[in-house]
Chain A
Amino acid sequence: MSNVSRTLRAMPTLLRVGFASSLAYRSEFFVWILATNMPLVMLALWSQVAREAPIGNYGPKQFTAYFLVTLIVRQLTGSWVVWEMNAEIRQGTLSQRLLRPLHPILSYAADNLAALPIRAIIVIPVAVLLLFLTGRGGVANDPVLWLLAPLGVAGAWLMSFSVMFLVGTLGLFWESSLAIWDLWFACYAIFSGYLMPLGLMPVWLQAFLHMSPFPYLLSLPVEICLGAVSRGVAARSLSIQWAYALAFLACALLLWRRGLVRFAAYGG
């Protein structure tokens, strides 16, 4: 039996046990989820600014829709693998993962994906609130866009996770790579649409940003859900997003192979 089929058979159990683990840490987990509520803060801020007059195409209703969808997408695409990897590399506990005949990227991915059902506890009420506050007109009314939306969210998750794994792997080369992650996150916060819709940025900057990976991490799936892009643009952007995701994944795996040679397994 091939390693791929063995891995696929193992996945349901990995996800089930990962889910059980996230339930065991439920208090901590909910606090962490609440700590990712920056879009709500931004919503309050931008709604206040737009009360007198719309900013670009965004009035209070558009800001409400934008930041509530942003909160949902953020909840569904967030990972924590970079912190987990840094801790495990420093403490040597990565050894326990390395002893198993399963690539650690898969076990980390299962841990992170297994938490999605709990995140849905936050996502579902926000989605209901979104429909209540903005009506159906606040979100996309094209069924094709709704078919593409899960692809955009999955692509954003894979991109985000791969970048985190890539940065986490740098911990094998340096003592800690969390400062690199902070730098990445600062760029993400500004250029992904996390703090403000990219449509409010200067046109030249938008054009430049769309060549960078950041909009595909958040803004793209949000805009698809909001119906702010056409089918053609959505499909084109999704292909760029997945190309980025696969490129980051390939880089992460390549770097992992090189980094593993340097693992010292201190204390583990």
Chain B
Amino acid sequence: MIRVRSLSKDYQVHERPPGLFAALKSTFRREYKTLRAVLGVSFDIADGERVGFLGPNGAGKTTTLKMLAGLLQPSSGEAHVNGFVPQQRRADFLRSIMLVTGQKQQLLWDLPPAETFDLNRAIYDVPRVEYKQTLDELVTLLRLEGLVNKPTRQLSLGERMKCELAAALIHRPQVLFLDEPTIGLDVTMQAAVQRFINEYNERHKATILLTSHYMDDIVAIAPRVLVINHGKLTYDGALMDLARRTRPDKYVSLYFDRAVAATNLEALGGRIVLHDSLHAVLQVDATTMKAVVAGALTNLPVIDLKVEDAPIEEVLADVFAQGESSG
């Protein structure tokens, strides 16, 4: 269980303009600016829930994760993770969580991942029998056969990320914070990591809080999302509800068996997003969607059609843009 109330974090950031004079001046007198990274964020996450944390760069996602993982001290507010106060950094708390960042690694660079796994076994005091079971499970789920004994530096980015996940899960954390876990991975590897995270969640009922700029990750992993912008929480709910609320329009794709004139499409209503001779995409309001589809089937040589919500990337771009204009 994660419980967050009015959590805020300010940074004091040293600022100086470029140039020699400014450099000399800053030697004697430094100017600091308060950066409000997180502003009064509150939310609850139940045990075993998978939640996506969304927001543009610099929105405060990673800062929040770091506070929840006990790395950063909040400026105000409170957080409880599994009943612990993260900033107290109790050993039992640290044994129950893990933060995996796609851009930083804990694997020992010049040694095979097996050495990091064994190091974590010792540090987390995992009994050897349990360690072997967990490792076997991770090797199978992540398909690590043949990788664990190769020096880390010789692994590909995707192989390294899979080994990072395995190293992070040796002690079977009950809460897993994932910060861009699929960054830089190809589509196949991304899918493998997504699948693994879901399987880990189902097997161990672990709570997962994930940030990612890849919407595929969010769609595949997180039924619920938190949207943060300029440090403020702007949405907490189901991803699909966010999509419907932000972009109630639908995309109707029509396929024809002969060319159709633009005037015929305009007559249906909605906005033409794409039109070539045998294919067209109309953006229509959800309330008029049925009429548009009926009109197309009646008046046009339609051989196939598809109705979709707005792409999630567009939805989020709109959400973030609304945050910009209101922030």
Contact = CB atoms under 8 A, between A and B. Distances in A.
A257 B244 CA distance: 48
Interface string A83-100: 000000000110110111
Given A17-B118, A101-B94, A264 B72 contact: yes
B111 A17 contact: yes
B66 A95 contact: yes
Interface string A6-22: 10011011100100110
Interface stretch (B101-109, B182-190, B228-236, B306-314): B101-109
B119 interface: yes
Nearest to B69: A99
Given A10-B125, A101-B124, A263 B72 contact: yes
Nearest to B87: A261
Contacts, number: 80
A17 B125 contact: no
A93 B118 contact: no
A17 B89 CA distance: 25
Interface string B304-322: 0000000000000000000
Interface in B91-123: 91-92, 94-95, 97-99, 101, 103-106, 108, 110-111, 115-116, 118-123
Contacts of A264: 11, 72
A98 B122 contact: no
B298 to A, nearest CB: 59
B221 to A, nearest CB: 21
Given A17-B118, A20-B115, A265 B66 contact: yes
Nearest to B125: A6
A150 interface: no
Contacts of B111: 17, 20-21, 24
A268 interface: yes
Contacts of A261: 73
Contact of B104 (A10, A12, A96, A263): A96
A152 B128 CA distance: 38
A102 interface: yes
A3 B72 contact: no
A102 B115 contact: no
B121 A24 contact: no
Contacts of B270: none
A21 B110 CA distance: 7
A267 B71 CA distance: 12
B119 A101 contact: no
Contacts of A13: 118-119, 121-123
Contacts of A107: 123
A261 B121 CA distance: 28
Contacts of B118: 13, 17
A186 interface: no
A208 interface: no
Contact of A99 (B73, B98, B110): B98
Nearest to A9: B125
B52 interface: no
A268 B106 CA distance: 11
B181 interface: no
A32 interface: no
Nearest to B110: A24
B122 A10 contact: yes
A93 B104 contact: yes
Interface in A224-268: 260-261, 263-265, 267-268
Given A100-B94, A263-B71, A9 B99 contact: no
Contacts of A268: 71, 101, 104
10 contacts: A1-B125, A9-B125, A10-B125, A13-B121, A99-B70, A261-B73, A263-B71, A263-B72, A264-B11, A265-B72
Interface of B: 11, 66, 69-73, 89, 91-92, 94-95, 97-99, 101, 103-106, 108, 110-111, 115-116, 118-125, 151
